[in-house]
Amino acid sequence: MTHALAPLFARMTGDEKHEWAAASTLDVLWVLYDRVLRIDGPDDPDRDRFLLSKGHGPMAFYAVLAAKGFLDPSTLDTWTRFDSILGHHPDRTLVPGAEIGSGSLGHGLPIAVGQALGLRARQSPARVFVLVGDGELDEGSNHEAIAVAARLGLGNLTAIVVDNHSSNHGWPGGIASRFTVEGWAGITVDGRDHVALHAALTEDHPGGPLVVVADIRKS
């Protein structure tokens, strides 16, 4: 399980004990890549897309990509060097398996809407999953995309909001309601519970997008 990621994390951070387990995205990423995403190859036009919109702290993402064979684990040792393909924010043109370059917040969800539109126009079975943070949701561009995705009926789109309660001004009424009021299906689960995450991420949502809010309780 995710414990296998600890030594991969350590190649970047030098710490096997704390940082890897604290990463709020770790469990969502593992469930997605281990049990949900259908990716036969990074160039398969019908592969599922995973977009890490919240590009900050991508060590968990890189560790999962290495664990799943997209990256040679030795690449992790080069982390943030001048000639490394791995930086503090991922660059899709450098990192095998990374579907977007991210770092500036609020870009992944609008791009995911475009990808979902494009895949639907091609009648592809591929699905689009995009991970955003609760703090990232402050960016207004997300709310443009939330409205558009619902209006266009994008049943092949799932947004995962990792909620570690970092938004400066909070989300009265809950994060899921910001999506469901626009017509999304919405599920809120414990962001560390793999069974619950898997059930939510594979929930049927025909005719419209789905948001899965992964709640990360502070320890």
Distance of closest approach, residue 137 Cβ to other proteins, in angstroms: 14
Tokens found for residue 33: 């890549």
Whose Cβ is closer to other proteins: residue 102's or residue 164's? 102
Among 6, 10, 21, 148, contact with other proteins (rule: CB under 8 A): 148
Whose Cβ is closer to other proteins: residue 135's or residue 191's? 135
Which range of residues in 33-41, 57-65, 116-124, 208-216 is near other proteins by CB under 8 A? 116-124
Q: Which helix (H) or strand (E) holds 64?
A: helix 59-67
Distance of closest approach, residue 120 Cβ to other proteins, in angstroms: 7
Cross-strand pairs, 187: 212
Decide: is 22 part of the binding site for other proteins (CB under 8 A). Answer: no
Decide: is 104 part of the binding site for other proteins (CB under 8 A). Answer: yes
Strands (E), the chain: 49-52, 128-133, 157-163, 185-190, 210-215
Please give the size of the binding site for other proteins, defined by CB under 8 A: 32
d(CA 195, CA 181): 27
Decide: is 125 part of the binding site for other proteins (CB under 8 A). Answer: no
Residues 38-57 that bind other proteins (CB under 8 A): 45
Which range of residues in 14-22, 32-40, 97-105, 180-188 is near other proteins by CB under 8 A? 97-105
Decide: is 199 part of the binding site for other proteins (CB under 8 A). Answer: no
Query: Any idea what DSSP says for residue 65?
Result: H
Decide: is 58 part of the binding site for other proteins (CB under 8 A). Answer: no
Q: Under the rule (CB under 8 A), what is the footprint of other proteins?
A: 45, 91-93, 99-101, 104, 106-107, 109-122, 124, 140-141, 144-145, 147-148, 152
